């Protein structure tokens, strides 16, 4: 036993991840709480990053572990002076970075991406500590964020202009240039991959950026900045601030140096920021809320669709703008689908994301538990059936039970606004057209899903489902190489794919005449 414990101690020092290295026998001697504490010891020091330097601030706020409600650290809040320093630094950085060759920009981005791959475990553990998602999901998020950088680094070398045929003696050409300083805002639900989208697009295009990342989950953005610092990114090109969101947006967006506002978050906040930017003729890139429908046709594999739907609904505790939420199931398979879905949802393992086997962690903050409880009670009052869940889970931490509601009336609040939590709605429909009508009945159009093997159904949905991202027989909404964004109140502009850098560029038409007018 003593020898086994010595081996455990050595492995702990080498990897910081004992639970992956211990044998079944050694696991018996190590308490789960000891493993959690060892993992959370990797949480980074928090700071602002402005002009290539880390700094503290006079005011700070706590960062809390949502599974334990324990404080992880104190996050500095940027003052107006800090924000102005960030703008000034970004202007100076732009002069260097916009004149850097695309190949060299790509090399720097790829060096930083490689460092993030090497640091995957450290970053993932920090994300789980501050957000609560299971460690396995956090690891995948780190790699997804890295892939955004790798894709956009390639796109940096493919921002081709073009030559347009013209009359003899004239040359017509189109050129792309970096838009300038970007003010970017990323949400708390994906601490690594969401900041990565904004930073990757800006840096690949030759822009500099001031990023306001989420105060609840700052570690992902901090690790990204550290990687770029170590990769040799010039000072001022990437700046990171935290603080009171309204104060930061009210100061950054009106600045004449800011040439693009990039935001991911709620539709309400997105509308406010768009209004603020419009007063200064500043373009915006908006990835806003969703309320994703799932159309389940009568010809599909019912059990497979139900189980995959239940698993994906509970991913990230349902805190995903593309989370499948409104399931419209053909009436002939409704009972079978619902029973299988409820069975799998109820079996979801809920707990601290640092523990082995956990499939769903807590909600990100204490505000979400009463908000979801209210939505469930409103639906119940309207006549919905609560098949499983519907309440807080446990006494400590911000946990909510995996929840399934059926036969929810159209006037229930949850049918119009996404729950942003582990709640699924399953309603019967009589036909594909009935399902499409219900899918399109909300103001949002970010992602939509369908299960069918009929080619005519697929064509009909491609033409008529009002979303920016439609996935059939899969619940993946996007990849780095595909454009991602919404329609209607889900925003405009695209991130990812060959279209992903368009918002970060300006287009210049050049007409060169050999004759002097």
* Active-site residue list: 287, 321
Sheet-wide strand order for 162-164 = 162-164, 170-178, 505-513
Contact 135, 125 (CB under 8 A): yes
Angstrom distance (rounded) from CA 18 to CA 13? 9
Using alpha carbons, list the distances in angstroms from residue 477 to 3, 178, 221, 423, 480. 49, 28, 23, 19, 11
SS3 28: coil
Spatial distance between the Cα atoms of 364 and 349, rounded to a whole number of angstroms: 17
- Sequence-ordered alpha helix ranges (H) in 232-333: 245-252, 267-278, 302-313
Do 133 and 361 meet the contact criterion of CB atoms below 8 Å apart? yes
For Cα atoms 45, 46, 50, give the angle at the middle one, nearest 5 degrees.
Answer: 120
Residue whose token pair is 């707990």: 351
CB atoms within 10 A of CB 431: 12
Residue 218, helix vs strand vs coil: coil
Q: What angle do CA 154, 145, 176 make, to 5 degrees?
A: 35
Say if CB 122 and CB 142 are below 8 A apart.
Answer: no
Q: 242, 78 in Cβ contact below 8 A?
A: yes
| Among 59, 37, 33, CA closest to 46 | 59
CA distance 336 to 304: 11
CB 233 within 8 A of CB 205: no
Alpha-carbon torsion (364, 369, 373, 375), positive or negative: negative
Listed in sequence order, the DSSP H helices in 189-326 are 193-205, 219-231, 245-252, 267-278, 302-313
Q: Tell me which residue of 393, 401, 444, 394 sits closest to 421, measured CA to CA.
A: 401
CB atoms near residue 215 (< 10 Å): 17
| DSSP state at residue 495 | B
Which residues are within 8 A (CB) of 286 and not within 5 positions of it... i.e. 6 or more apart? 263, 270, 273, 274, 491, 492, 493
Quote the Cα angle for 259-261-264, to 5°: 160
């Amino acid at each position: 036993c003593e020898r086994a414990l010595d081996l455990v101690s050595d492995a702990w020092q080498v990897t910081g991840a004992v639970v992956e290295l211990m044998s079944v026998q050694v696991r018996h001697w190590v308490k789960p709480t000891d493993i959690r504490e060892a993992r959370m010891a990797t949480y980074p020091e928090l700071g602002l990053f402005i002009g290539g330097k880390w700094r503290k601030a006079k005011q700070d706020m706590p960062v809390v572990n949502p599974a334990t409600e324990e404080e992880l650290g104190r996050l500095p809040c940027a003052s107006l002076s800090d924000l102005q320093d960030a703008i000034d630094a970004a202007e100076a950085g732009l002069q260097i970075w916009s004149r850097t060759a695309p190949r060299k920009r790509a090399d720097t981005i790829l060096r930083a991406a490689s460092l993030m791959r090497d640091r995957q475990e450290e970053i993932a553990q920090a994300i789980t500590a501050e957000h609560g998602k299971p460690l396995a999901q956090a690891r995948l998020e780190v790699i997804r964020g890295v892939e955004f950088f790798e894709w956009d680094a390639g796109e940096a070398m493919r921002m081709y202009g073009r030559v347009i045929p013209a009359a003899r003696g004239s040359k017509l050409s189109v050129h792309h240039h970096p838009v300038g300083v970007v003010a970017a805002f990323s949400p708390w639900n994906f601490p690594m991959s969401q900041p990565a989208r904004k930073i990757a697009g800006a840096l690949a295009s030759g822009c500099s950026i001031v990023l306001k990342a989420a105060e609840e989950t700052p570690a992902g953005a901090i690790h990204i900045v550290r990687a770029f610092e170590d990769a040799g990114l010039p000072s001022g090109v990437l700046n990171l601030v935290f603080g009171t969101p309204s104060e930061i947006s009210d100061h950054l967006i009106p600045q004449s140096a800011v040439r693009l506002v990039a935001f991911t978050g709620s539709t309400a906040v997105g509308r406010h920021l768009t209004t603020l930017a419009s007063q200064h003729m500043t373009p915006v890139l908006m990835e806003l809320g969703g309320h994703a429908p799932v159309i389940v046709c009568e010809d599909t594999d019912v059990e497979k669709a139900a189980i995959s739907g239940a698993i994906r609904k509970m991913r990230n505790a349902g805190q995903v703008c593309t989370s499948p939420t409104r399931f419209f199931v053909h009436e002939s398979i409704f009972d079978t689908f619902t029973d299988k879905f409820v069975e799998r949802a109820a079996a979801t393992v809920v707990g601290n994301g640092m523990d082995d086997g956990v499939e769903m962690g807590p909600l990100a903050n204490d505000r979400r538990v009463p908000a979801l409880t209210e939505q469930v009670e409103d639906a119940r009052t309207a006549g919905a059936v609560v098949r499983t869940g519907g309440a807080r889970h446990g006494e400590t931490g911000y946990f909510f039970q995996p929840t399934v509601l059926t036969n929810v009336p159209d006037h229930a609040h949850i049918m119009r606004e996404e729950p942003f939590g582990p709640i699924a709605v399953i309603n019967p429909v009589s036909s594909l057209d009935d399902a499409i009508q219900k899918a399109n009945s909300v103001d949002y159009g970010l992602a939509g899903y369908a299960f069918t093997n009929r080619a005519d159904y697929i064509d009909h949905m491609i033409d008529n489902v009002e979303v920016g991202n439609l996935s059939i027989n899969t619940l993946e909404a996007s990849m780095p190489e595909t454009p991602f964004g919404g329609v209607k109140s889900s925003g405009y502009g695209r991130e990812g794919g060959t279209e992903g850098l368009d918002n970060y560029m300006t287009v210049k038409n050049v007409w060169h005449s050999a004759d002097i007018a």
